[in-house]
């Protein structure tokens, strides 16, 4: 997972864990039109993303930090499905309740955060 840091003009920095996918030289994160991250980025697109990979047994600690200005893009059902596959495995094994109630692929409020 990644952590997305945004700025709220009234109360300062915000940080939230997010699922992500790297495609076409771009980091894509999930969002929704009524989600706090999307609202913060619409007001102030500056953000930072941190990705950490830690494997104690292998002695691996990798960190990637990105900073820049994000854009809010329309939902891409195909990209969203690839992102879900990364975290949930093959589509036939997805929990249907989760897809219907949380990760609604074709929901009109769905957005992609692009950095």
Distance CA 56, CA 20 (A): 23
Supply the pLDDT for residue 44: 94
Q: How many distinct structural domains can be found in the chain? A: 1
* Cα→Cα distances 34→12, 18, 46, 77, Å: 19, 16, 19, 18
**CATH code where residue 63 lies:** 2.30.110.10
Question: Bigger pLDDT: 11 or 67?
Answer: 67
Supply the pLDDT for residue 23: 95
Distance CA 50, CA 16 (A): 10
Supply the pLDDT for residue 70: 97
pLDDT in tens, 62-109: 999 999 999 999 999 899 899 999 998 998 888 888 888 777 777 778
Supply the pLDDT for residue 59: 96
Q: Print the domain residue range for 24.
A: 2-114
pTM to 2 decimal places: 0.85
């Amino acid at each position: 997972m990644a952590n997305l840091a945004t700025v709220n003009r009234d109360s300062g920095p915000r940080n939230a864990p997010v699922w992500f996918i790297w495609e076409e030289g771009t980091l894509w994160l999930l969002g929704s039109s009524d989600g706090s991250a999307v609202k913060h980025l619409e007001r102030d697109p500056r953000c930072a993303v941190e990705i950490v990979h830690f494997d104690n047994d292998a002695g691996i600690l990798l960190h990637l930090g990105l900073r820049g200005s994000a854009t809010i893009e329309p939902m891409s059902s195909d990209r969203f499905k690839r992102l879900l596959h990364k975290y949930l495995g093959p589509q036939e094994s997805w929990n249907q309740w989760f897809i219907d109630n949380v990760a609604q692929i074709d929901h009109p409020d769905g957005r992609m955060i692009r950095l």
